[in-house]
Every structure is written in structure tokens, then in C-alpha cells.
Structure 1
Amino acid sequence: MTSAVAVLCDPLSPEDTAIRLQAALGKGQWVRLLGRDPSADRGSVPPEAVQWPEAVGWPEGPGLVLSSGGSTGGRSFCLHPVGNLERSAQATAHWLRCISIDPTTALVWNPLPFHHVSGLMPWWRACQWGAAHVWLAPALMKHPARLLERSVQHPAWRQKPMLLSLVPTQLRRLLVHPRGRRWLQAMDVIWVGGASLPEDLAAASRQAGLKLAPCYGATETAAMVTAQRPRDFLTGGTSCGQPLEDVDLQVGADGALAVRCDRLALARVDHSGELHPLSDSQGWWWSGDRARLSETAVQPHLHVLGRRDGAILSGGVTVYPPQLEERLMAAARSASLPLGAVLLLAVSDREWGERLVALVRWSGADGDSEVAARCLGGLRALVSDWMPAERPIAWHECDELEPTAAGKWERARWQVWLRSLEAGQTRPCDDYALRHRDQ
């Protein structure tokens, strides 16, 4: 029977993690990469490592078991033989050659978590290409001046084509800082994925001359399946680019995006270790995203419109919280409101079916209740002309509100937080009138 092991990914020592991963793969094992909280005791073992199931009926390794948000919500695990990762790296190398970059000469900067496909693949690509690779600690990414100071000391700084993968949250934090902007401007390709790229962030990136390559991929596809060329982005392109050489795309009648390629995960793994098919009988994997394809003379361009599984039905209206979150963040920035993060969650409503509740985190309020109250009033004013189904019926301040290191929202986690909060308090009374006026 093929053996399966868990490898803890220590963000403070990714080099050691990489060595342990290579050793396990060299033994033909299936490896599950587990994240570790940087603030946790380095000797602690996550419960997932103890509860790891036996690999009964699995194909021969080596390979990786990678955590995914799942195509229809909820966490799942994808089984990827190493050949999938190799084919993914090969497809990315071909894309680079098409824009006149030799991947073997590249310097790859990697600030993403190793236990996610987004952070695993930059390292894997560099190893396969024979390129240089640099890990960037999460703490360093929050200090642009220190990041630039350390980066310029690398002997290959600006001597090789420099490649970077980011999520939009990281991009925004760096772009607003002069030295962070200088650091970004030194990159030859900046792949941006993990979440949609807000229009204002895209515009600011173009103004700064950043060579962004907005892309689309998933754990199920072993990372990128489309990427926009930097020159197309800089001239105003708004898509996630065209399919890589090994990828076919289609959009169903309901707007669902499907992907077919030779590096789809073999299966999903449940918590008992059982395998479940990922693709349909024609080899298509149906994602949880809505999309459209704009046809060109050569290949279609992919436009991702939002999550299918993130939609709610409120008063007969289909509402997509992620799009509203992006819209509210942009409006708050325009109104100079210090909104650090916002998450819109659905709650049951007897008359409407579901309504939205907002969790918000301020940046710069510093615990000042009067400032926070004024800011909250400003948010309410911003949404006052939205459709009733789109307007939150309650607002809750949440100082710890943050997406994951990969830029994803763990909506199930924050739903638990909201339920525990509401179990001990009713919705704010000043939202009662708003809720009944909306009806």
C-alpha cells in the first residue's frame, strides 16, 4: 500500500520544509502539506496531522495532497501526482518564453504560504527550471522599506528576469508605500491571483507601470491555467488572460466555468481517505466560478465574474457578496473612510430568505469608539442607494477580521464567529429601522 505522511510547513523555516518534502517524495510517498501559524508554538502539532487517514486504495506515489476551498464550498483535499506539478511548471515556462523570458535564467520571489498551491508552485517551478528562488517571510512583506533593503542585496537583483506571485491584498499594501512601489516596479512579471483584482488597484498598478499578469488557477488545476501578458495589462486589458498551452476552457449555460487539462487532480480525498472523482466523463472540471469568454482571433480571454457558490438569494434577487465587498471597499477608499476589511455574510430571514450582515475592520481607528461610530455611519451612507437585497441589515466591528495568507476568506469560520456573537446579543437596534424600511 502507498504510504501517506504529513509535513508541517514552518513559515519561519521554509527551506527545512522543502528538504523534508523532497525526502518524502523521494521515497514514493504521498505528502500532505500542513500550515502552521507563525505565532504558534513551533513544537505544537496541528490536529489535522494526527487525524490523517490511511491511503487505502490510492494510486502509487509520489504526490501531494493539497488543501482546497472546494468548487462548491467547503474544504476538500486534492490528490496530485508529481507529474501534474511538472506539467504545470512546463506550461508556465512555455508562457514565459512566449513573452521572451527564459525561465532558466529567472529569479523567483516567493511570498506565499508553502502549504498552498500558490506558494508551493513558485518553488517547484524554480527547481524544475533550474532558476534561482527566494523565500520571503510574511513579516517582511509587511515592511516595504526592509523588503527593498534586503532584496537589493541579492547578487541577482536586476541581473536576472525577476518573477513574483502575489494576492491583491499584498499588492495593495506594497503599492501605497514608496519603497514597496519601487520593489514592485523592479519585477518583470507579477502574477496576481487568488482573488479578483479590483478596478482601482488595477488602475493604480498601470499608473505605476507595474508588469502585472492577472491570472486564474486553482488547487484542482495545479495552479495557473490562464494568465494575461503584462503588455496587455498595461494597455488596459481587464481579463485573466488566455489559456496556457495545455488548457481548454468552456462556460456552461449557467455561466459556470469548466477547465480541461492533463494536470487536473486525480481525485478529491475525504476525511476517511476515500477518493472521489474530480472531473466529469468528458474530462472537464466544473469550478465554483462564474465566467465569460471573450473571443479573439487566436484564443479566448477569460473574465471571471465571481463565485457561483458564494451567491445568496435575497427577496428573489441573486446577490454575490464578494462583488459587493469589492464595491464597498472601493467606495470607502473614495470617501476616505479607513476601512481595512469587510466581509458580507448571509443570515436567514423569514421573509427574505437570506439577508446580508457586514463584518468590518478599521485601519487607524485605534480603538476610538467615536471615530469608529462616525466611520460606520459613513458606510451606511455609502450603501443607502444600493438595492435593498444588497444592503447589510447589521454591521459588526471585528478587530481580527483578515483573509488567509493566500488571500482567501474562510467564510465558514466567520459564520461561526457571527453565530457566537449573535447568540449573546441582538442585532444593533439602529439597524432595525433600516431593515424594515428595506422591505
Structure 2
Amino acid sequence: METPLKMDVKDVQRDWIVGFSGEAFSALVREQAARFAANDAVAERGVLLAESDPIRFSTAFFAGLSLGVPLILANPKWGSAEWAALSGLVNPAMIVGNMPMDTTTREGVHHPLPGQILIPTGGTTGGVKLAIHDWASLLAATRGLHDFLGGDPIHSSCLLPLHHVSGLMQLVRAFSTGGQIRFDEAVTAGYCVSLVPTQLQRSLSDAAAVERLRVARAVFVGGAALPEALAAEARKAHLPIVQVYGMTETAAMIAAVPAEDFLNRDAPGAAPLGEAKIGVDSDGGIRVRTPALFQGYHGREPIDLAEGFCTGDRGYLDERGGLHVLGRMDRLINTGGEKVDPAEVEQALLQIEAIEAAQVVGEPDEEWGEVVIAYLQSQSSLDTENIRQRLKEVLSPHKVPKRFKQVDAISACQAKSVG
């Protein structure tokens, strides 16, 4: 087996995390690496990172990279159903974060390989999936964006969680390009900021936030479709918006629209970053090839990536080769940049007494892009607040329906609102 590409722990010694000295951060990384190294099982079974504090997460992430041990990222806000699904996929030897997982050895669990970085993705159907990356694929993704931005160090103002690929890659970009990262929005001048459309919409209603974004080096907007009305408002405010397209499987961005094109052209297409190749199949499905592509999903059947990865999105290429994304080819709901598999929510609903049938759909919403709506069939009157609380125990908050509608029969969908 090829030796995994490691990160040299000496590289974290520079002052690159705003408000935290490089010397102090390096000491924390070395201490964490020593704790990992003292556990012989870590090299085989890996470390689970489910930490919401960015410094503690970053410390563990770089400690793991320096040793080449498997790293498994997880959302600290997952519900019990998601943790149960994860426990069937991995058996970490250590956990960073206070999470409900067992670290004792379990039989029948497929362990990740040395150097692998498993990143959770909500961009596919079928429950919890872990996209397999490594340090090389994350660096390949960084190079593509680094070249797109002109080759200068990338400074990041990170407002997204680090377990999410869009947050993680801000950390990787700042570290690997000689940039800086800050985990607040106090200063954005010269920094890159990543937002989902819902965050952008909220920022545009805040004059101070608009001024901060206006002086940013770039405001990356992705994770969901950017409504034209919102795009027009951002243009009017002269924000340096860089529309991006990407996913966990491509280590975030794989295509982007330069800010000048966004400001000067209507509905511009996104150009591939770095060595990425983007095509559209005969059925309209978008297919991508890139050195930053993942290796498959951990614990799942192997995927043939010889001809690239079919993203599950529909789109087309314009006369300039720019990519235009039209939507999903499956049932996934995109709410505020988070992906929701309706089948997963339906399964959780059907565990609740009195619910005979359930259908979960996405409905258009100005703030969220889409909101999750549940149609419920029952012969008795339903207590929607109780249903909501039951779902919060097993699902992430963004998967819990915003509204419930009781119907006589799911197929009829003649809904009357009950919550």
C-alpha cells in the first residue's frame, strides 16, 4: 500500500490563526498527537472528530494529519438515528468531542485506511455517508481555487462548522497557502468568506454586514441555488460574490464564476477550477473529473469513478463552457445549504404511533430556498409539537419539518395545516 501523504507538524508553528499564537497552537497539536500515538488502536481504527470548538477541532485534525491516522468527521448536532447509522460504519479508537459512541472494539466494522479523511455528506440519498478523501485530494482542491484567485495566500473568515466540507476547506486553504484564518466575522477586509444563500440574504438586511462583505476579497456563495432576486440585490450592493459549485465528493468547490462576471453579466456560467473537467450526460446529469475527487463512500459498495462522478445534479454547459445547474435528479431537499433525504425523515415519522403514512417534500421558500414539509396520514388528530420533539431526538435540526400537514390519504395531498 502507498504510504499516506502526511502533514509536517512543524508547519503549524507560524502565526496563522487570528487570536491564537502559532507557538501555542503547535504545542497543542503536539500534545494531541502524543495522545493519539499512545493508543495503538488509533492507527487502525482512527479518530472521530465531533468537536464544535474550532481550535479543539483544528488541533485534533492537524495532530491526526501529522501521524497519518484515519480521521472521521461528524456533526456534533446529529440525532440518535444518525449516530446509530455512523456506529455501523466506523469503530473509532478515540473520540474528540463529547459524543454518544462506543470506542470498544466491535466486530464486523470496516476500518478506514491510514491517511484517509472521512467527511460526512448530506448530498446523497440513503442516510449517513462518509466520503473518502485524503490530504492529497484536499490539497488538489486548494490548488484549483488558489490558481483561480491569482496565487496569493488565501485568508479565510470562517463562519461555517469545520465538520462540513465548506468549513474544513477554509482551514486547509489558509494553512496550505500561507494565509490566515479567523473564526469570526469581525474583520473581512482582504479575507474570503463562504456563505450559503440563506446567510447572504440575512446579511443583506444588515447594513453593517453589507459593509463587511463589500470589502472582502471574495464572498463565495454555494451549497444551494442562488435565487435571481437575491443575486440582483447582491449586485446592487456591489458585493464581490463568487458563485461556486461543488460538493463533499469534490472537496468543496470545483467550478466558480469570477466576481467581475457575476457583477457584469446576467446568469453567468461557472468555469472549472484547476484541473477539473465538467461534462453533461445525455440525460442532463452533471459529471465531474478532478484530482480532488473522493475515492468512494466508506463502508459502502465501491463506485466506478473511471469515467468521473455523476453528481446527481442536472445542468447544461453554455457556449463558453460555463456550467449552469438546474436542480437535482433525485428527491433531495436543499434547505439553507443543508441536504435532506426525504426517505430518512419519512422513516423516522413512521416510528411514531398514530402516523399511518408519511410523505416528505421540499417547498419553495424565500429565506431557505426550500423548507421541509411533512404530509401525514392518520385516523386521529395529531399533536404536531409532540411529533416535532420526537423527531428532534433522532434527527439533525435541519431535517425536522418546518410544517406538518394532515391529509386523508397521502396520494390525495389535500392538506389541512395542523402546525
What is the TM-score normalised by the length of structure 2? 0.66
How far 1:427 sits from its partner (Å)? Answer: 3.6
Corresponding residue for residue 307 of structure 1 = 328
Residues 19-418 of structure 1: pairs in structure 2 closer than 5 A: 19-37=59-77, 44-47=98-101, 56=110, 58-59=112-113, 61-97=114-150, 102-104=151-153, 106-136=154-184, 147=185, 150-151=186-187, 158=189, 161-239=190-268, 241-270=270-299, 275-282=300-307, 284-296=308-320, 300-310=321-331, 324-326=363-365, 329=366, 342-345=371-374, 413-414=399-400
How far 1:9 sits from its partner (Å)? Answer: 3.9
- Aligned AA (1:108): S
Matches of 2:296 and 2:97 in 1, distance apart?
Answer: 32
Equivalent position SS for 1:246:
coil
Matches of 1:110 and 1:240 in 2, distance apart?
Answer: 26
- Aligned AA (2:120): S
- Aligned AA (1:8): L
How far 1:269 sits from its partner (Å)? Answer: 1.1
Equivalent position SS for 1:203:
helix
CA contact (8 A) 2:225 2:369 kept: no
Matches of 2:97 and 2:118 in 1, distance apart?
Answer: 23
How far 1:44 sits from its partner (Å)? Answer: 3.4
1:5 paired to 2:55: no
The share of aligned pairs that are identical, in percent, is: 28
How far 1:400 sits from its partner (Å)? Answer: 7.7
Could you give the per-residue CA deviations for residues 9-33 of structure 1, whole angstroms, max 9, x where no partner exists?
433x211211111111211111011
Provide closer, same or farther for how the CA distance between residues 293 and 311 of structure 1 changes in structure 2, counting only shifts above 3 A.
same
CA contact (8 A) 1:25 1:63 kept: no
Provide closer, same or farther for how the CA distance between residues 340 and 51 of structure 1 changes in structure 2, counting only shifts above 3 A.
farther
Provide closer, same or farther for how the CA distance between residues 256 and 71 of structure 1 changes in structure 2, counting only shifts above 3 A.
farther
How far 1:50 sits from its partner (Å)? Answer: 7.5
Equivalent position SS for 1:66:
strand
Equivalent position SS for 2:364:
helix
How far 1:256 sits from its partner (Å)? Answer: 1.0
Matches of 2:265 and 2:207 in 1, distance apart?
Answer: 23
Equivalent position SS for 1:342:
strand
CA contact (8 A) 1:3 1:55 kept: no
What is the TM-score normalised by the length of structure 1? 0.64
Equivalent position SS for 2:199:
helix
How far 1:229 sits from its partner (Å)? Answer: 0.2
Paired residues in the alignment total 322
Matches of 1:265 and 1:433 in 2, distance apart?
Answer: 40
- Aligned AA (1:278): I
- Aligned AA (2:172): W
How far 1:413 sits from its partner (Å)? Answer: 3.9
CA contact (8 A) 1:7 1:17 kept: no
Equivalent position SS for 1:187:
coil
Provide closer, same or farther for how the CA distance between residues 410 and 241 of structure 1 changes in structure 2, counting only shifts above 3 A.
farther
Matches of 1:235 and 1:70 in 2, distance apart?
Answer: 31
Equivalent position SS for 2:98:
coil
- Aligned AA (2:318): S
Provide closer, same or farther for how the CA distance between residues 217 and 103 of structure 1 changes in structure 2, counting only shifts above 3 A.
same
Matches of 2:129 and 2:120 in 1, distance apart?
Answer: 6
Equivalent position SS for 2:65:
helix
Matches of 2:61 and 2:75 in 1, distance apart?
Answer: 13
How far 1:84 sits from its partner (Å)? Answer: 0.2
Provide closer, same or farther for how the CA distance between residues 321 and 199 of structure 1 changes in structure 2, counting only shifts above 3 A.
farther
Equivalent position SS for 1:263:
coil
Equivalent position SS for 2:142:
helix
Equivalent position SS for 1:127:
helix
How far 1:231 sits from its partner (Å)? Answer: 0.4
Matches of 1:54 and 1:239 in 2, distance apart?
Answer: 49
